[in-house]
Amino acid sequence: MANEKEKQAAGRAAAKLVRDGDVVGLGTGSTAYFAVVALGERVRAGLKIVGIPTSVKTGDLARQLGIPLTTLDETPQIDITLDGADEVDPRLNLIKGGGGALLREKVIATATKNMVVVVDSSKVVSVLGKFPLPIEVISFARTVVENKIVSLGASPKLRTKTDGSPYLTDNGNQILDCSFGQIADPAVLALILSDTPGIVEHGLFIGLAKVALVGRGDAVEEIRR
């Protein structure tokens, strides 16, 4: 319950940063949900924005809330993105992808002038790696990628649905959740993974977030890079 209150506080604080006329990246996940809901309230009160969702699920939510949507083809530059994270370190490096939207989230993040991360206090860590790193792969290359990840000292696990079949992203790919332990140099690992054929995208977001809003009890703490 406490975490839910912190998520809601962070999400609502982030929604207040959006200005009239902004193109807004709409994140995916339990904390981003509250930011999108708060944005919907502002839109109904007269705020003029357009949103670009990072997932089919978020797009459906935005439509229900009356948030006008656009696409990257129509609007390739985004003013502000509100998104969650599974872990945030003191330099605002992130692990993302617990919700399965890491590829679209990273595309949106890299097209954004100001990426705002919204999290509850449990997501703030001194070193990334407690949360298994999501890696999106094409099914054709999964075994090869798994072997590569094992060679890097991690344990990969295929993400599955409740019926045991592979979980598929909105892009039709599979996800490996990889336990690396503490990641001493996230930037180096990110480069290694990005250079590995068969990996579509990984959940290390390095140098993309500008600010994190952290729900702590009844307050919201701001961390800037």
CA count, 13 A, side-chain hemisphere, 185: 7
Burial of 151 (0-12, 13-18, 19+ CB in 10 A): exposed
Q: CB of 113 within 8 A of CB of 79?
A: yes
Q: Is 4 a catalytic residue?
A: no
Q: Which of 4, 41, 74, 105 is catalytic?
A: 105
**By three-state DSSP, how is residue 110 classified?**
helix
Active site residues: 105
